[in-house]
Amino acid sequence: MKFRYLIVTLFVLLFSACNFSLAEDITPPPNYVPPTPMPTLGPLFPAEAPDIENGAAIYAEKCVECHGPAGMGDGDKGKQLPVTVAGLGLPNVGRVAKPSDWFTMVSRGNIERFMPPFISLTEQERWNVVAYALTLHSSAEQIERGKSVFETNCAGCSLDFFKNQSEMAALSDADLGLLLKNGSDNVTALSGDLSDDDLYAAAAYLRTLSFAAPTPTPEPASPTPTVAATEATPSAPTTPGVETGTPAVETTPLATETAVPVTPEAIVNKVTGSVSGENVAGMNVILHGFDHASDGTSGPQEIVTLETVSDADGNFIFENVEMPEGRIFYADAAYEGVTYNSDFATVTAGVTELSIPAFRIYPTTNDYSKLVFDQVHYFVEIADGAAQVIGVYTFSNASEATIVIDSPSEVPFIKFPAGAQNIGYERTQDSAPLFAAETGFAIPPSETPYGLVAFYSLPYENKLEIAQPFSQSALSVLLLVPEGMKVKSAQLTEGELQNFQGANYREFNGAPMQANDMLTFTLSGSPKTAGAESNAQQNILIGVGALGGVLILAGAWMYLRDRNRVVEEEEDEEEEEEAIESEEETLDAIIALDDLHRAGKINDEAYQTRREELKARLKN
């Protein structure tokens, strides 16, 4: 895997919900906290029928940014990847997908395709999102047609087989189609001369029988919102790696709910909640409601935006709100330039009152001296006259104030050595969420630690002195350098030799640092290589524990200009193979997109836009 792929891998992993663990034979460094282990896969079928409504909400949170709202592989982050993101919503992809295979992929990831494992989800949640993803390639009309095909050509046939989770998890729609065509010991073959489209439609219908059946939602009696819908609140300036306090879902123009006079006979549907902190009386609170398209062809869309004010104790209430089953609500409030939001609450069948999880606001300060670095880890690599350094900073805000950083692109509490080049940072994958502020980003008090990766490079010619400044105190410092290099420092103690993916690195442990201290060390020598294989051919992922989280480092990321030390002929051959693979994948995506458009499953505008993007990628 080349550098340009690995650097994207780093960024994808930093934003994702994945974890990696160190190899079992590696001795952890001092103060290492083991990460959450990769889940052991049990039976490859769900313990209970998957809930696709819950799966839709998870998809909007975890998947839509890469796979896109309709599963076309056109999410904002997916477009930035150097590989074609799987089009889950394409019939030629979804029809051959086995639920058990997709569950394994969601659980363990596929790093070669830049997909992380989602072990932050429970096993049932993973089955829920897989079930929802399997609906993206079919429509409500197709399912209804499939029901008619099945009932007409197999009148009185038992449906028990298709409700069996163990059986259905192992079968794709294509497998189901063959069963319906040929029959088996457990499945009666359909009569009549059926086309492939008929069989696929029947398979899509039968797939729905393995999902948790939604309870019909009672029709609300004369919904009468007492608060008119407001225009969408303009979002605060965003910062890469900073959460804005609103879910990452696609929105459409808001549906304005007209206020209707309340009658005694009307059902008063309530959404309640509370915000705590200082000055909560009379605070403007905005309620956001999201629905998912019934045909499963798009992600959640915001259709309700209501505003009210909190009472003296911070409690708020929205009355006469339509609450169909599956609708997702959350509330937010802005205070001193920072927007805070609650967690989600989902409507269940028959409820007339929904409680939004409470959330809290804090006073703000620009004094970041209250931050404490719990762990600081540095990883060094040498490549073609440059020392590349990644620093991983895990820190806490244990104060009672939100710390606002008045910069959208710089982190003033992370310092770089004099002369540092190619500077940048990203948020780590298990970091507590950073919030958007009017002038930059905000760090609220949190029991979950924050994490940032900062990287830079310095010229290197066999020897280099690095003076790394610290703006904050640090409880633990660790340095890792390639085997063969020497480190001289009065502040670092040489530790054990560690092996990561076939490459050896020497660890050096440092004493706790105080604010305004300088960590000074001298690097010299050259990395030791093993046989004919150079460090440039190593694909290194180092997991560094950070208070229950795993901070992902990519060692081979260090080759900033795609520089390789392989023999020229090997490099040309590898590039040619990659180009052929990429070309074939892109051509397949274009063909699948054309089929989808001809079938009327995607509108002209979306079709033309995506096709031009794929053509441009093919040309490149």
DSSP letters for 167-221: HHHT--HHHHHHHHHH--SSSPPPPS---HHHHHHHHHHHHHTTSPPPPPPPPPS
Q: Is the pLDDT assigned to residue 411 strictly greater than 60?
A: yes
Say what the pLDDT of residue 567 is: 36
For the ranges 16-25, 83-92, 262-271, the lowest mean pLDDT is seen at: 16-25
Q: Is the pLDDT assigned to residue 245 strictly greater than 50?
A: no
- Distance CA(408)–CA(242), nearest Å, equals 9
Across the range 583-605, mean pLDDT stands at 70
User: Which amino acid, one-letter code, is at 192?
Assistant: G
Across the range 257-273, mean pLDDT stands at 57
Say what the pLDDT of residue 5 is: 33
Is residue 219 very low, low, confident or very high in pLDDT (cuts 50, 70, 90)? Answer: low
- Token pair 């086995």 in the structure block, residue: 98
Say what the pLDDT of residue 378 is: 93
For the ranges 273-282, 385-394, 493-502, the lowest mean pLDDT is seen at: 493-502
Q: Is the pLDDT assigned to residue 4 strictly greater than 70?
A: no
Q: Is the pLDDT assigned to residue 316 strictly greater than 80?
A: yes
**pLDDT 10s digits, 152-207:** 998 888 888 999 999 999 999 999 988 888 888 888 889 888 898 889 999 999 99
Across the range 248-263, mean pLDDT stands at 36
pTM above 0.75? Answer: no
Say what the pLDDT of residue 387 is: 92
Rank 102-116, 133-147, 234-248, 561-575 by mean pLDDT and report only the highest.
133-147
Q: Is the pLDDT assigned to residue 19 strictly greater than 60?
A: no
Say what the pLDDT of residue 556 is: 29
Q: Is the pLDDT assigned to residue 84 strictly greater than 60?
A: yes
Q: Is the pLDDT assigned to residue 21 strictly greater than 60?
A: no
Say what the pLDDT of residue 309 is: 96
Across the range 53-72, mean pLDDT stands at 87
Rank 375-384, 424-433, 465-474 by mean pLDDT and report only the highest.
465-474
Structure tokens at 501: 């993916």
Is residue 86 very low, low, confident or very high in pLDDT (cuts 50, 70, 90)? Answer: confident
- Token pair 């901070």 in the structure block, residue: 551
C-beta of residue 429 within 8 angstroms of C-beta of residue 13 = yes
Q: What is the CA radius of gyration of the chain?
A: 27
Say what the pLDDT of residue 144 is: 92
Residue of higher predicted confidence among 422 and 268: 422
Q: Is the pLDDT assigned to residue 525 strictly greater than 60?
A: yes
Q: In 366-482, where do the E strands start and end?
A: 372-383, 386-396, 402-405, 421-427, 435-436, 441-443, 450-459, 463-469, 477-482
Query: Cα separations (Å) of 423 from 409, 416, 458?
Result: 11, 8, 10
**Is 49-137+571-619's fold the same as 368-563's?**
no
Residue of higher predicted confidence among 276 and 557: 276
C-beta of residue 73 within 8 angstroms of C-beta of residue 86 = yes
Say what the pLDDT of residue 509 is: 93
For the ranges 27-41, 337-351, 559-573, the lowest mean pLDDT is seen at: 559-573
Across the range 575-582, mean pLDDT stands at 49
The number of angstroms, rounded, from the C-alpha of 55 to the middle of its chain's C-alpha atoms is 14
Is residue 605 very low, low, confident or very high in pLDDT (cuts 50, 70, 90)? Answer: confident
Say what the pLDDT of residue 291 is: 80
Say what the pLDDT of residue 601 is: 59
Burial class (CB in 10 A: 0-12, 13-18, 19+), 618: middle
Say what the pLDDT of residue 8 is: 34
Is residue 532 very low, low, confident or very high in pLDDT (cuts 50, 70, 90)? Answer: very low
Say what the pLDDT of residue 470 is: 94
Choose among 361, 389, 359: nearest CA to 377: 389
Is residue 300 very low, low, confident or very high in pLDDT (cuts 50, 70, 90)? Answer: low
For the chain, the straight-line distance linking the first and the last C-alpha, in angstroms and rounded, comes to 18
Contacts 24+ apart (CB under 8 A), 572-580: 574/2, 578/2
Average pLDDT, the chain: 75
Q: Is the pLDDT assigned to residue 79 strictly greater than 90?
A: no
Helical ranges in 226-266 per DSSP H = none
For 140-208, CATH number?
A: 1.10.760
Residue 197, CB half-sphere, CA atoms under 13 Å: how many?
6
Query: Cα separations (Å) of 471 from 19, 377, 477, 516?
Result: 29, 15, 14, 5
Across the range 316-343, mean pLDDT stands at 91
- Distance CA(230)–CA(221), nearest Å, equals 23
Query: What are the residues whose beta carbons fall under 8 Å from the beta carbon of 459, sequence distance 6 or more?
Result: 385, 386, 387, 419
Across the range 118-130, mean pLDDT stands at 87
Say what the pLDDT of residue 2 is: 32
**Per-domain boundaries in the chain:** 49-137+571-619, 140-208, 368-563
Across the range 13-25, mean pLDDT stands at 32
C-beta of residue 311 within 8 angstroms of C-beta of residue 330 = no
Architecture of domain 49-137+571-619: Orthogonal Bundle (1.10)
Across the range 428-435, mean pLDDT stands at 80
For 368-563, CATH number?
A: 2.60.40
- Distance CA(113)–CA(70), nearest Å, equals 20
Say what the pLDDT of residue 568 is: 43
Residue 465 has phi, psi (to 5 degrees) of: -100, 125
Residue 249, CB half-sphere, CA atoms under 13 Å: how many?
27
Provide the greatest CA pair distance for the chain.
84
Q: Is the pLDDT assigned to residue 580 strictly greater than 70?
A: no
Percent of the chain with pLDDT over 90: 32
- Distance CA(534)–CA(541), nearest Å, equals 16
Is residue 318 very low, low, confident or very high in pLDDT (cuts 50, 70, 90)? Answer: very high
Structure tokens at 554: 């990519």
C-beta of residue 123 within 8 angstroms of C-beta of residue 47 = yes
For the ranges 63-72, 214-223, 431-440, 467-476, the lowest mean pLDDT is seen at: 214-223
DSSP annotation of 418: T
DSSP annotation of 291: E
3-class DSSP assignment, residue 465: strand
- Distance CA(73)–CA(617), nearest Å, equals 13
Residue of higher predicted confidence among 455 and 241: 455
3-class DSSP assignment, residue 153: helix
Q: Is the pLDDT assigned to residue 109 strictly greater than 60?
A: yes
